[in-house]
Structure 1
Amino acid sequence: MADHLLDQVRPYLNRSTEERISYIQAPRLIGHQGAIQAHERLAELLGRPPALRTRGLMLVGPYANGKTMIAERFAVEHLKTSERQSVWVVQTREGAGLAHFYGSILQALRAPTGSSRDVGRKVEQIDHLLDSLKPRILIFDEFHNALRGRARDVEAVLAFLRRIGRQFDISPVLIGEVAVYDFINQTAEMATRFDLHAVPRWEYGEEFFALLDSLEAALPLARVSDLSDEPMARMIFQLSEGLIGEIVAIVSAAALAAVRSGMERITRSGLEELHYIPVSKRRRASARDDLL
């Protein structure tokens, strides 16, 4: 019974509907090959010997494709196994200017930011924190937000990345869209400081089918859904447009509907009843007209 489920998932079939729904809605990292390789690259940075000119890493790809979850999962796993926190995640603030950028670092390091826009003071505060906390990796999520300001501010941000390697032995990790790759590679000097790990959209094929099998095994439904078989796999791929965040959202929504209806499996008709609109079509969706 329920041999299609992972061992740790199978007991949830005996839980209440509310508990099963909560489990399905919980965020989860699917251990696909791209995520495993990214984790290995981050581990290499964490375990490297001291250096005066540290190398960093770019995790670059489209939105909703799992980059943030990979980084956060790595940071959490490190924190669970280490006596001292060496990996910090900075949520790069929206809005141009150095004050926003430095403010996001102070917030990540759990320091009071205040209302001052004195950039020099913020830099002094950050330097003091980096010297005392001694992080090995600073992960800048949504780093493309820091690249939308004036040219001199962007150059100051890049200079900061160079300096923290030399002065504090920190490897910066930049997460974002393709603009991050473009900016870093505008000069050979910056390009030599960062390796690239691409997180592209999924292609329709065996790896995508394996991903669907992994998802099906992780969702507590009593009956087999055969997500990786045609035409189910094709429909999920088209709706998701190859974005893993959308893939998980679609399958999870269909699983919730299957639990609530008592169907206990995801079907093609169940997917159709979601009326799910792909990201690229939402701007032109009929639902938008109802908002006017």
Structure 2
Amino acid sequence: MKYSHLSDTAASKVELPDQERIQHIKKPRWIGYSRAKDILEKLEDLLVHPVQPRMPNMLIVGETNNGKTMLVEKFRERHPASENPNGEAVKIPVLYIQAPPGPDERGIYNAILNRLFEANPRSESVDAKRDRVVAILKRVSLGFVMIDEIHHLMAGAYVKQRNALNVLKYLGNELRVPIVGIGTAEAVRAVQTDPQLANRFTPEVLPKWTRNAELARLMSSFERVLPLKEASQLSASPLIDRVLDMSSGTIGEMSTLLNMAAIHAIKTGEERITVSTLEGCQYVPPAQRKQAAALM
């Protein structure tokens, strides 16, 4: 079978003009792997958890560019809001917000109101905002609240950090829904300082990738979705080792590197990824970016 190294979707793109193939490569894509699938299953369980006075919470933890955002987007796609025309209010199984830049109670409520497209007058007191947020969320069949970049709530003075954590406890207790935080290891360290939160938040870690069978499967998955005419054998040495070394072991960097290498392979007519393609595609590894930033 021609292009047997590709998925059906990628094989259908491989004979398109080069620019169309390049545009296809640049589109975001979901590539499932064991740890991500495990966390998705746990999120599904959390979404239907029986209501109780103290609901369980979760922290999805990982380094920058290591798959947290794509995992969250995948889950949100499964559970979109519904207009619920026959009910009293829309249904929002998953309320997703970005944490404000600092540990600010007003900022948390503002983020929720903005996500709900609610009026947000500056003159409104924090107490009034809190009451309005709770009243609205009790009407929308809420499953749980997702707070991205939750480590932002741990920045600044200790008193403000405690206040932000108390907001999370209050919302969880009042709404009786789980809170799911997404962030770096800093969020875990901060939650551990509060015994009540530490008992409720279960960390689910997305570790950096290492050379093992799971990485080989991931590389094979990448190869199947990149519409190149020739097989690259990404899961074999020396390619897999070079990808791991250049990307510093995060899936987002691996994706960026392989996309750039695939585009380079199309432009040069090589039609497969090789070590020379990886090194010639103008990808700058994270370690080199940090070194350049330090010299500025």
| Higher alpha-carbon deviation: 37-46 or 267-276 | 267-276
Is 1:222 aligned to residue 223 of structure 2?
no
CA separation of 1:100 and 1:261: change in aligned 2, threshold 3 A? same
Cα distance per residue 1:157-176 (max 9 Å; x no partner)? 22222222222121100111
Within a 5 Å distance, the mapping from 1:106-121 to structure 2 comes to 106-116=113-123, 118-121=125-128
Partners of 1:116 and 1:236 in 2: CA distance:
53
Question: 2:40 corresponds to which letter in structure 1?
Answer: H
How far apart are the structure 2 equivalents of 1:132 and 1:217? 44
| Bigger Cα displacement from structure 2, 80-89 vs 124-133 | 80-89
Which residue of structure 2 lines up, in the alignment, with residue 276 of structure 1?
Answer: 283
On the 8 A contact 2:228/2:271 being kept in 1, the answer is yes
| Matched-pair contact (CA < 8 Å) for 2:150–2:181 | yes
Match among 207, 229, 232 for residue 200 of structure 1: 207
Deviation at 1:22, TM superposition (A): 1.7
Q: What's the TM-score, normalizing by structure 2?
A: 0.90
Partners of 2:266 and 2:81 in 1: CA distance: 33
1:21-45 superposed Cα distances (whole Å, 9 cap, x missing partner): 1211111121011110110110010
The DSSP-based 3-state class of the residue aligned with 1:8 is: helix
Deviation of 1:195 after TM superposition, in Å, equals: 1.2
Quick one: which of 148, 151, 154 aligns to 1:144?
151
Q: Structure 1: any 5+ residue segments left out of the alignment?
A: none
Structure 2's unaligned 5+ residue stretches are 85-90
Q: What count of residue pairs does the alignment treat as equivalent?
A: 289
Question: How many angstroms does 1:153 deviate by?
Answer: 2.4
Q: Give the match for residue 5 of structure 1.
A: 6
What is the TM-score of this pair, normalised by structure 1?
0.92
Q: What residue is the counterpart of 1:54 in the other structure?
A: 55
CA distance 1:255–1:113, shift in 2 (3 Å): farther
Segment of structure 1 superposing worse, 78-87 or 245-254: 78-87
| Structure 1 residues 253 and 284, CA gap change in structure 2 (3 angstroms) | same
Asked whether 1:86 is paired with 2:98, we answer no
Question: Aligned-pair distance for 1:105?
Answer: 2.1
Aligned residues with identical type, % of pairs: 30
Q: Which amino acid aligns with 1:198?
A: V
In structure 2, what is the equivalent of residue 238 of structure 1? Answer: 245
- The one-letter code sitting in structure 2 at the alignment partner of 1:158 is L
Contact residue 98 and residue 157 of structure 1 kept, 8 A: yes
